[in-house]
Amino acid sequence: QPAPKIPNGPPVTVEARCVRLPAKAENAAGIAPVVERRTLKRALNELLIEVKAAAVNPSDVKAATGLMPYAVFPRTPGRDYAGIVIDGPADWIGRDVFGSSGDLGIRRDGTHATHLVVETEAVVDKPRAISWEEAAGIGVPFVTAMEGLRRAGMPKAGETVLVMGVNGKVGQAVVQIATWQGARVIGVVRKNEAYEGHSNSPVEVIDASATDVVARVRELTSGKG
């Protein structure tokens, strides 16, 4: 349990329960995490967060199996999180927050724990309208989608965006961002299934197992593609 909160006082120390990966696994089936107790406290530019929910991303498995050569061991995995700030500057304490970080869970200890230490600039307030689980699932998928769209050019009204793997979490994030910007979205799936995510406008779905994707895209866009 955390010590009593002292705004702007000495850093609070907690004994956290943390998932730990002691060494690189040969494959996904060989990942053998353990749970350890570790003492955590923040530095001056960090917050100490009681974790309410944390996501599991494909990158967690890739890092655990050595596909990210810069991953370090032992460590606590997990990149995305949502929780309550229990230590930091006085104006942060008690706030519901969520976020993500590029090296959390890979180069340093991450979010699969009861508590997390993270830099203040990686944290934003959690909207009241979304749950802990929803907030914890935003990070990697939406950062990936937004960065891809930033590099390609943020879609605008009147433009069409083709999303391969539209029911993946990054695909769903692309749909939300693109339709929020007013663009039309065409999604591609590997089997006969409807779009499963949120959208601000209808999504035309192409079943790649039964339809020529290129021909159908040309048809839907009056030959433009």
CA 204 centroid distance within chain: 26
What pLDDT, on a 0 to 100 scale, did the predictor assign at position 6?
A: 47
Distance CA 139, CA 124 (A): 11
What pLDDT, on a 0 to 100 scale, did the predictor assign at position 70?
A: 92
Task: Give the pLDDT band (50/70/90) at residue 10.
Answer: confident
What pLDDT, on a 0 to 100 scale, did the predictor assign at position 101?
A: 82
Whether the predicted pLDDT of 4 surpasses 70 = no
CA 167 centroid distance within chain: 16
Q: What is the mean pLDDT of the chain?
A: 94
10 Å CB burial of residue 5 (0-12, 13-18, 19+) is middle
- Radius of gyration over every alpha carbon of the chain, rounded to an integer in angstroms: 21
- Output the six-digit token pair for 185: 């979205």
pLDDT digits (tens, 9 = 90+) for 141-167: 999 999 999 999 999 999 999 999 999
pTM, whole model, 2 decimals?
0.85
For residues 94 and 84, the answer to whether their CB atoms sit within 8 Å is yes
What is the dihedral sign for C-alpha 35, 39, 45, 46? positive
* CA end-to-end span of the chain: 58
- Could you count the other beta carbons within 10 Å of the beta carbon of residue 171? 22
